[in-house]
Chains A and B, each alone.
Chain A
Amino acid sequence: MKSVIKNGRAKLASAPIYFGAAVRGPMHKNSGKPCEDFWRGRSVGDTTAISISDGMGSKPFAAIGARSACTSAIRAARLWAKATDVGPDWVCRWLEAQWRFSVAPKQPQECAATCHLIAAHKNNCLIYAGLGDGMALFQQGKKNVQCLSTRPFGNFANETLGLGVDHRMTDWYHVRLPLSKEPWIAVLVTDGIADDLRPEKLDAFIKWLRSDIAGKPKAEQSTTLRRALREWPTPGHLDDKTVAVILSH
């Protein structure tokens, strides 16, 4: 990542790269239902953002909820880009309100979905905000992979918080990180991926995304990732699977 010095502050010379893929899991394939995971990525002005969402299968409009969660998250990131001094907790509040507008007139509880957002600003800072199952990973330089999200202790598979589920603002996880000149990568995954990752091998997962996927020409990154997710090797896996990646140029 190249940086230039402007007004005494380091700035990213070029926007980060982003890509992602969401694939339907065997459970939805067998039942003829659509994929209820979504991802979005946008580079707008000084900010590049990725978001993922997993619609809650028991809700009738889960897919709409998940799609709206991703678009609302990107809109929230766009707003944050204009006022990066604002903390990520306020991004969560704005995102919640925006999501409710975007699913209306449907009832929020009929559209329940998780939501995770990462936004990187040219001003060398990154924010993460997440609600519900899923995982956010971050690595800078050769440091250990850092998990930005945590999972409530009581949860078993497929039990989650989310937009449209009774919760408080304190249920959101959010963090703001400075970005140095070293190369960095941030990754969001839904629980269809997170639950099957070996905790001691997260560095291998990141390395695979960097070398085997991000190393491809831009036009091939998402299609290569989608193809790989369809070959997911864990026996008996059922869920939809989504990965979104943002990394320094």
Chain B
Amino acid sequence: MKNEIAMKEFTVDQARPLPVFLLLDASGSMIENGKIDALNRAVEEMLATFADEPDVRAMIQIGAIAFGGDVRVHLSLLTAEEAKKKWQPLVAQGNTPLGATLTQLRILLEDKKLVPSRSYRPTLVLVSDGQPNDEWQEPLKQLLESARASKTARMAMSIGADADVQMLQSFLNSPESKVFQAHQARDIHKFFKWVTMSVTVRTRSATPDKIAPIDPLEIDEIRY
């Protein structure tokens, strides 16, 4: 007991973080067919589930970058409990500056104060319903070639028929990983259930750094 008290002075008092970064399309086209509302509801539900998850093996942290007209850190990287409290619904407006979003993400990932080395491999989630309207190929290349981003788990969802599925597949950068294609607003909810499960499976696992691929097309077979 004496040693335990002494050791608390020089040891961290939190489980290792498991960061999740959401890259959320908030462009003007997201207003159509209730897409932005469905996205907001799905994210809120995911945050609530994460907040209820006990930090047994890993402490889930959530951050969100919104891109619509401009690029902004909509939610700085926070514990699930704090993120649930601070989350504000996205407002759809403007165009789709994806390239600037990917650059912003790379900067956040490389910030060792924000994402310390003891973190488990972060999960990156990209959601978009349209075509990027800035130069995105070079920022994506820089992101995927960066030492930290190359080790992340990545998931992507296209919303509607106008989405650039090819671009989203490039973000995943793996032939085994598939873009989840949402045709209706309710599919957005389904995708975030998949993200939620993929993250919580890792926090409960004896090996949280192992990322087991789950086929989004088999999502209906999964028991929650």
Which residue, A152, A154, A212, has most C-beta atoms of chain B within 10 A?
A154
Tell me if B3 and A236 are in contact (CB < 8 A): no
Tell me, rounded to whole Å, the shortest Cβ–Cβ distance linking A117 to chain B: 22
Interface of A is mostly: loop
Q: Is the CB of A232 within 8 A of B10?
A: no
Chain B interface, DSSP helix/strand/loop, else mixed = loop
The answer, yes or no, to whether B84 is at the interface (CB within 8 Å) is: no
Q: Are A30 and B13 in contact (CB under 8 A)?
A: no
Report whether B55 and A235 are in contact in the complex, using a CB–CB cutoff of 8 Å: yes
Pick out which of these stretches binds chain B: A75-83, A87-95, A198-206. A198-206
Closest to B118 in A: A195
Minimum C-beta distance from A69 to chain B (A): 22
- C-alpha gap A157/B59 in the complex (Å): 13
Tell me, yes or no, whether A97 is within 8 Å of chain B by CB.
no
A233 on the B face (CB < 8 A):
yes
Q: Convert A156-172 into 0s and 1s, putting 1 for each residue whose CB lies closer than 8 angstroms to a CB of B.
A: 11110000000000000
Task: Chain A residues near B147: list those with CB within 8 A.
Answer: 152-155
CB distance from A16 to the nearest CB of B (A): 23
Return the contact of B151 from the options A154, A224, A233, A238 (Cβ within 8 A): A154
A7 on the B face (CB < 8 A) = no
- Which residues of A lie under 8 Å from residue B10 when comparing CB positions? 197-198, 201-202, 204-205, 208
> B2-26 interface mask toward A, CB cutoff 8 Å, 1 = contact, 0 = none?
1110111111111110000000000
Nearest 7 CB-CB pairs, A to B? A154-B147, A236-B15, A228-B3, A201-B10, A195-B118, A204-B10, A205-B10
Chain A residues close to B by CB (< 8 Å): 27, 30-31, 57, 151-159, 195-198, 201-202, 204-205, 208, 212, 224, 227-228, 231-238
The 11 listed contacts between A and B (C-beta, < 8 Å) are: A27-B207, A31-B206, A151-B117, A153-B147, A157-B117, A198-B10, A204-B9, A224-B3, A232-B11, A236-B58, A238-B208
> Which residues from chain B sit less than 8 Å from chain A, CB to CB?
1-4, 6-16, 55-59, 110, 112, 117-122, 146-148, 150-151, 206-209
